[in-house]
Amino acid sequence: MIPEDPPRIYSRRQGNGTPQGRRSIDSRRIRMTQEKGLSTFSRRTFLGLGASAALLAGAGLAGCAPKGKTGTASGNGSDENTSWAKEADVVICGLGGAGVAAAVEAAEAGASVIVLEMAGEGGGATKMSGGLAYFGGGTRLQKACGIEDSLDNYKAYMKAVSNPSGGNEQLVDLYCEESASTFDWLEAHGVPFDDAADTQGHVVTAPKGISLTYSGNERGWEYVAVATPAPRGHSPRQDGEEHSAATLFDPLLTAAEKAGAEIIYNAEATSLIVDGSGRVVGVRATIDNEESAIRGLKGVILTTGAFTMNDEMLADFCHEGLAAGARTAHPNDTGSGIKMGMAIGAGLRSMGRASIQHFVYMYGHGAASGMLVDKRGVRFIDEGSYGGWIGKAIYERTPEAAWLIMDSNMIADVDPAFKDMLDISSQADSIEDLARVIDIEPATLAATAARYNGFAQSQNDDDFHKATEYLKPLSAPPFYAANFEVSKCGFHTLGGLKINEKSQVVGNDGKVLPGLYSAGRNACAIFGNYPGSGSSIGECLVFGRIAGKNAAAE
């Protein structure tokens, strides 16, 4: 496992808004909508691009706050002469998936709880998603659907996926061990699931009436060697036209309020308050445009989300994020809680990488049967791979140009609901002519296509072990090229504050920062590589619960 704190990654900054030159994915399926004044993706888009995620390999950063605005915006203060406007045993900053899980656990443990939420409603990035949570190791739903997935098998997959790029092995173990009980906890708090599974193929969103699907790279040839594949994407019951995380979030919010948690909206936490001994004892916040100090008698929990929407932090920490196109994040995912922790010496984990995703199979069997090539016309991945692997490979190998090559039979088999999302920029009557249109050496693309057709004929992909259901020949003109460059990918950041098995924030010196907890995308527990869609929500719930329990027990 590589060190958690390699050197910082920098990139050229392009202002305070969306980086210049960025092209977003534009279609009726990937759209920006206005909800209470906030620009958001549609829920189906958010899930498809991996926010439930799910959004992957993350290397950490040097354990010091960078110079300039990124490291100093949060500030910090002493508790001397502080006039407290409110106090509670536990103060939680941010009401997304991790924040609501922490609030439920802390309040049900008997602690008084105040939750500060920047927006006018709760949910954050979690509620924008489809609500998919990645759990395994023998959940009740897996067993009800006849799926065998032992805890050891689950751990083997998760470690193989996460740890090569910096995931904490002990926290991966803990996540796996808490998955089944967290699923039970969701059901106990009124989150409904259908006892039905789809085990036939990749899906981006579960069909109506189905709650268990494959949502990662479990059947990728490199992982089949270490763990028996099992579907682990747990989707709450679909009540409307598409899966909605409201089905997951709203019952938890109701439970938190029923247990006595006080939710304060339009309340932006701005800095942590530390006493003379170094213990975090509260937060400064702007509530309805007035500055206030809120005291946390037992602890403060930071759950304010990722830094996907902060160009400056992306430039300082995560060059990958600047390269991708669509941001699968809530507008308030600006890294505020991460900066608050950094200001008092919190360590960081996995800040250098993002979940960059593009799902070829989202467009249907026709697209997944195509051939994905780089700027030289060379194939570089199994086109049926999980979207996180596709996006990562495009970014690392060929960010400026990647093409999905299809013939007329494949185009006819593209899902009509998604066809207008494909950027089919070129077509020609021969592979060689198509190569000329997209500025690839004709002989190279023709040779790549001939090799691919050989695999289709033999039904055996010697290069990337593509599933036979997607091995179809490129033989029926005209031929098409869909643009898959990195700007067509969605992304969200994975890095955050370094936490331990109690969700306590750990400082640059490796010591716990007393009184401070974190979870969700404000922190980073298990990511290295992204195991599959739903693992971000899964991590939010598991470590949010842990933070709430431990803060209440202080």
Q: Where are the domains of the chain?
A: 133-234, 359-488
Compute the mean pLDDT over every residue in the chain, rounded to the nearest whole number.
Answer: 85
**388 residue type, one letter:** G
pLDDT tens digit string along 69-100? 343 333 455 666 789 999 999 999 999 999 99
Single pTM value for the model: 0.85
H-run or E-run covering 457: helix 442-458
CB 548 within 8 A of CB 100: no
pLDDT tens digit string along 296-351? 999 999 999 999 999 999 999 998 878 787 888 999 999 999 999 999 999 999 99
What local confidence, expressed as pLDDT, does residue 162 receive? 82
* 3-state SS class at 285: strand
Query: Of 21, 18, 44, 41, whose CA–CA distance to 31 is shortest?
Result: 41
What local confidence, expressed as pLDDT, does residue 541 receive? 99
**Token pair of 208, please?**
């109506």
Q: Which residue has the higher pLDDT, 260 or 164?
A: 260
Task: Considering only the C-alpha atoms of the chain, give the largest distance between any 2 of them, rounded to a whole number of Å.
Answer: 78
| CATH fold of 359-488 | Flavocytochrome C3; Chain A, domain 1 (3.90.700)
Reported in sequence order, the residue ranges of 241-397 that DSSP labels E, i.e. its strands, are 262-264, 267-274, 280-287, 290-302, 326-327, 348-349, 354-357, 371-374
Residue 412 CB contacts under 8 Å (≥ 6 apart), including other chains = 366
Helices (H), 145-220: 151-162, 169-188
**442 residue type, one letter:** P
Q: How far apart are CA 297 and CA 402, in angstroms?
A: 54
Q: How far apart are CA 124 and CA 403, in angstroms?
A: 34
Q: 151 φ, ψ to 5°?
A: -60, -40
- Residue 471: pLDDT band (50, 70, 90) is very high
CB 257 within 8 A of CB 264: no
CB 35 within 8 A of CB 119: no
Q: Which residue has the higher pLDDT, 88 or 359?
A: 88
User: Is residue 15 over pLDDT 80?
Assistant: no
Tell me how far the alpha carbon of residue 519 is from its chain's centroid.
Answer: 13
Any idea which of 22-36, 150-164, 220-234, 431-445 has the lowest mean pLDDT?
A: 22-36
121 CB burial (10 A radius; 0-12, 13-18, 19+): middle
**Token pair of 206, please?**
């579960």
User: Is residue 107 over pLDDT 90?
Assistant: yes
Percent of the chain with pLDDT over 90: 70
User: Is residue 366 over pLDDT 60?
Assistant: yes
CB 274 within 8 A of CB 77: yes
151 CB burial (10 A radius; 0-12, 13-18, 19+): middle
What local confidence, expressed as pLDDT, does residue 207 receive? 81
User: Is residue 150 over pLDDT 80?
Assistant: yes
Q: Which residue has the tokens 């679909």?
A: 238
Query: Of 431, 427, 470, whose CA–CA distance to 447 is shortest?
Result: 431
Q: How far apart are CA 373 and CA 15, in angstroms?
A: 33
**Token pair of 257, please?**
């309020």
